[in-house]
Amino acid sequence: MENNDMRETDFLVASISQLSISGSSSPPVVARFRSDSLQFGLETDSSDSVQFDLLNCQLFKLGPFQSLCISEASEINKEKSFSKGITIQFRNEEESRQFHSAFEQWKKEVVVQGSSLPNGIGSCISKFDDKIEASSAKMYFHYYGQLLHQQNMMQDYVRTGTYYAAVLENRVDFTDRVVVDVGAGSGILSLFAAQAGAKHVYAVEASEMADYARKLIAGNPSLSQRITVIKGKVEEVELPEKADILISEPMGTLLVNERMLESYIIARDRFLVPNGKMFPTVGRIHMAPFSDEYLFMEIANKALFWQQQNYYGVNLTPLHGTAFQGYFSQPVVDAFDPRLLVAPAISHVIDFTTAKEEDLYEVDIPLKFVSSVGTRIHGLACWFDVLFNGSTVQRWLTTAPGAPTTHWYQLRCVLAQPIYVMPGQEITGRLQMVAHKAQSYTLNLTLSAKMWGPGAEQGGILQTSSGKLDLKEPYYRMSQPQTYATSQEQQPNQLLQAQDLQLQSQDEDGLDLLQQIT
């Protein structure tokens, strides 16, 4: 092997043969790595060489001395096709190992470095593409590229009104400042920033909505001269200058769904000046155990269909257990009565100004509550809020139960096996959120009730219930009637008192958080 400072690497191989019915082996040839290609040919004659694009080819080991190199051509009906392929015969196992090692190294260099296009977007695989499935990204950008979905968000007046107030009440943070709108959508937040006196706003949007944003902004000529729409992902685009402040609406269900928070943090690292502002600044996930017999029975009864033993002569019961677990693997998205909470909430804080992208790959939250009532606990209720830490006004956007409803609603993880608790009994557990390539999270929830009463300090866990849920596949229950009979509200005064305590705790936590940030 001959190495020329990684600009070119040559290997002598015993022979190569084209993949065809009548393919025959060649005499010994030189395999040559060059910048972004792999070339096979005689050292004295390169006219009859076989060349592969390193970005689009794959190498497979067929045996100790033999490998297969194929070049991807296109995707047909979601199946990859290949334009050409060769088998490579090595002289010994060590040379085979060295060739495979060099192939991986050269291919990695091509993917990481890529080549820069005139519009500032790299032609290599981006960080976003590397961690997100192409099919998920396609559906995601298609969804947000439609005006009806932008309208749904804009008509959430709690959301839009809070953003408007946070920006306009903090003009000092925007006046004569450079702003980057991360995932600009329709461009509404860019227009708010321009209204607040921004020097210039760069509205970065990867979906087809970028074209609509240009049209909307152009229709507001008093503001349009200070807004530039850039179509592309924040992981890839280049901007002509750094930003003094980032603005974005990166929150999904349970705050983290859709994994846009990671893009928000990447935009911070790429574009924001040191000590620049971020709107929103901080996010909090709130959690509390809940009791809801109606919801539990509604989910459990869905699986009754699979208990039929004579469905057109077919016994469906072998699938009942799988169906039962499947329904409980769906987080429930709806607006619920806060009196269903049975303990004061706890919260997990994510500071967008300091968090690392990798911190969001797996979020592990220990749980500890004290039950306010005696009841059956059916799972964990979750919601979130975000803080806009402006220089003039600090404003919160909340999705809490009992507060004005937003398009995020709230989320509940329902356990297939409820646990029983008494007043004052301690509830412990863990909520683990693991990111996956479909732009969402797998939720692993465990709740346990500990011994209570005299001698509890010597006792251990009394009951434990666990569940695995997919945040990507929720059960949207917003249209269901939210009627709760007296029998369900076992001790409404105590439940309401617990909620009051929880809200008071949130306010105190918010003050402490503001003091820490400022």
Q: How would you write the pLDDT of the chain (518 residues) with one tens digit per residue?
A: 444 444 567 788 777 777 654 455 667 888 888 777 888 887 655 566 788 888 778 888 888 888 888 886 544 444 445 567 888 888 888 888 888 888 888 877 765 554 333 333 333 446 788 888 989 888 988 888 899 889 999 999 999 999 999 999 999 999 999 999 999 999 999 999 999 999 999 999 999 999 999 999 999 999 999 999 999 999 999 999 999 999 999 999 999 999 999 999 999 999 999 999 999 999 999 999 999 999 999 999 999 999 999 999 999 999 999 999 999 999 999 999 999 999 999 999 999 999 999 999 999 999 999 999 999 999 999 999 999 999 999 999 999 999 999 999 999 999 999 999 999 999 999 999 999 999 999 999 999 998 766 655 666 678 999 999 999 999 999 754 444 443 344 443 334 343 343 444 444 555 566 666 65
User: Which pLDDT value is given to residue 346?
Assistant: 98
Q: How far apart are the first and last CA of the chain?
A: 60
Structural element, H or E, at residue 511: helix 492-517
Helices then strands, each counted (H, E), the chain: 13, 25
DSSP string, 167-208: HHTTHHHHTT-EEEEET-TTSHHHHHHHHTT-SEEEEEE-ST
User: Which pLDDT value is given to residue 483?
Assistant: 46
Quick check: helix, strand or coil at residue 271?
A: helix
User: Which pLDDT value is given to residue 43?
Assistant: 61
**CB neighbour list of residue 244: distance below 8 Å, 6 or more residues apart:** 177, 178, 179, 272, 273, 276, 277
Q: Which residues carry out catalysis?
A: 249, 258
> Is 0.75 surpassed by the pTM of this model?
no
Closest CA to 203 of 170, 214, 128, 137: 214
Q: H helices of 372-491, where?
A: none
Q: In this structure, are residues 136 and 383 in contact, taking their beta carbons and an 8 Å threshold?
A: no
Closest CA to 203 of 190, 212, 216: 190
CB atoms within 10 A of CB 195: 16
Structural element, H or E, at residue 380: strand 375-389
User: Which pLDDT value is given to residue 31?
Assistant: 86
Rounded to whole angstroms, how far apart are CA atoms 378 and 390? Answer: 39
Rounded to whole angstroms, how far apart are CA atoms 478 and 334? Answer: 5
Rounded to whole angstroms, how far apart are CA atoms 284 and 297? Answer: 30
From the CA atom positions of the chain, what is the Rg in Å? 29
Structure tokens that stand for 307 in this block = 């208990």
Closest CA to 190 of 156, 164, 170, 165: 164
List the domains of the chain with CATH numbers. Answer: 8-74+81-114 (2.30.29.30), 137-249 (3.40.50.150), 284-476 (2.70.160.11)
Structure tokens that stand for 399 in this block = 């999705």
